[in-house]
Amino acid sequence: MRELERRFPDELAVVGVHSGKYIAERDTARIREAAIRLGNTHPIVNDRQFRVWRSYAVRAWPTLVVIDPQGYAVTSHAGEFTAAMVAPLVERLVADAGASLDRAPRHFPLDPPAIAPSVLRYPGKVALDTPGDGGGRGHRRIAIADTGHHRVLVGTLSDDGRRMTVERVVGSGEAGLRDDADARAARFTMPNGMAFGGASDGAPAGTLYVADSGNHALRAVDLATGTVRTLAGTGHRIRTRADLEAGALASPWDVALVGATLHVAMAGSHQLWALDLARGTRPRVHAGQGGEDIRDGALGDALLAQPMGLAADARAGRLYFVDAESSAVRWAELDPAAGEVHTIVGTGLFDFGDADGVGDAVRMQHQQGIALHPGGRLLVADSYDDALKWVDPATRRAETWVRGLHEPGGLAIGDGVVYVADTNAHRIAVVEEESGEVGELEIEER
């Protein structure tokens, strides 16, 4: 739609109708915040009771309805679409209307966020360079995906783990896809998941891998020199076989490094992918056949539903992930030859809520982040429930730990503390593991 708005700025009026699947998505304040985060400048209707949905006989998300200048619905399309598919119809309708077409622009300035951003704007993910080992909190490297500013901040933590000194800003702050030897000159679009790497993965020591979601690309940052390069992706979302052959990806949202393999939560295609960094080959599908659902089984036969968070356990041979659209916590075996996908909690695309318990009794709502505790537990960012929840992969028990966050999108477990990308609060929350006390990471820019 953004491309169509750009091509027809005075001829096309776009109205978004939001018929929310999740309870949280029916709240006007949350819809407003999402619109600001995504930079939408057209009006949006909160169709919380599905009245508009029913009046246009809609059956699927997304559905496009085209209305001519006389107010008649001329066609509709269910499912994904491209600007190239719709543009010829718009051109014909504009030509038929001629001089009678009202060409007054219908774009509006963005509202300010409910909570004012400061250093960060809608941070999506946070990463630490090494797992917590009881060796103290200070002087460890931390990376923050400053998603709303289209950049990544990398720095070190103070002795108490509550202050970050920024050592490198990666990205100019303007959306785009550009590699550069100067980190500040490079461009990203809505970066999210990150993973620190080193010599063992075939890259220079001090490499940061980034899921550049808005560019549908995987990027690598040499933290010593500041050089940014693209590992995979064309800058466009994969939609056709030709796109696949060209190397396109589909909304990579998180990454996890195991040896020389970079695992990717490919949210847009409902799959997990893997990239062999040592060989430099194209990414391959690791799990999921591409359909959207929740179904366990062999890696190639399983069905996933918008995976948005990853956590690897190399010793156990597992890749834990959260499926946002099935509100599930799942894991895939790392062995690509004979592995399977298993579900810990989550039962269906329309089974969601906010309930602790065991196994199939558990309900969460659009989780986006997951981290592995050294003790074996999983910590999940239950995004639409504004909470952090512990999940035991052995017993399948889920228990709420922290509430009162603002759609947390990612987290990283440190030494006695947890760092949380509290997205809509524009901050990195710092949670004491022992007490559950929530503070805020102080960010000091040089």
- Which pLDDT does position 134 carry in this prediction? 42
Q: CB–CB of 119/442 below 8 Å?
A: no
The torsion defined by the Cα of 248, 206, 172 and 276, in degrees rounded to 10, comes to 0
**Euclidean distance between CA atoms 186 and 173, whole angstroms:** 9
Per CATH, the number for 126-445 is 2.120.10.30
How far apart (Å, rounded) are the C-alpha atoms in residues 168 and 229? 16
Q: What is the pLDDT of residues 368-421, one digit of tens each?
A: 999 999 999 999 999 999 999 999 999 999 999 999 999 999 999 999 999 999
User: Which of the residue ranges 59-68, 105-114, 274-283 would you say has the lowest mean pLDDT?
Assistant: 105-114
Mean pLDDT computed over every residue of the chain: 94
Q: Which of 133-137, 209-213, 237-241 has the highest mean predicted lDDT (pLDDT)?
A: 209-213
* pTM of the shown model: 0.94
pLDDT digit string, tens, across residues 181-221: 999 999 999 999 999 997 566 655 689 999 999 999 999 99
Within the chain, all domains assigned CATH 2.120.10.30 are found at 126-445
Residues 224-243 have a mean pLDDT of 94
**What pLDDT is stored for residue 81 in this prediction?**
86
User: Helices in 20-99 by DSSP H: which ranges?
Assistant: 28-38, 51-55, 83-97
In percent, the amount of the chain with pLDDT more than 90 equals 85
Residue 387 pairs in a beta bridge with 382
pLDDT of 132 > 60? The answer is: no
pLDDT score recorded for residue 323: 98
Over 60: is that where the pLDDT of 156 sits? yes
pLDDT over 90 at 30, yes or no = yes
Distance CA(209)–CA(313), nearest Å, equals: 18
Average of pLDDT values for 235-239?
Answer: 92
Q: Are 326 and 305 in contact (CB under 8 A)?
A: yes
Q: Which two tokens stand for residue 113?
A: 């966020």
Rounded distance between C-alpha atoms, residue 330 and residue 321, angstroms: 5
pLDDT at position 104? 82
pLDDT at residue 105 tops 80: no
pLDDT at residue number 135: 46
* Pick from 200, 181, 119: nearest CA to 152: 119
Residue range(s) occupied by CATH 3.40.30.10 in the chain: 2-100
pLDDT-derived band at 107, boundaries 50, 70, 90: confident
DSSP string, 114-149: SS--SS-SS---EEESS---SS-STT-EEEEEEGGG
Render pLDDT for 251-300 as a digit per residue (tens, 0 to 9): 999 999 999 999 999 999 999 999 999 888 889 999 999 999 999 999 99
CATH 2.130.10.10 fits 2-100, yes or no: no
**214, 190 contact by CB (below 8 A):** yes
- Tokens matching residue 338: 């004979």
Q: If you ran DSSP here, which 8-state letter would residue 282 be given?
A: P
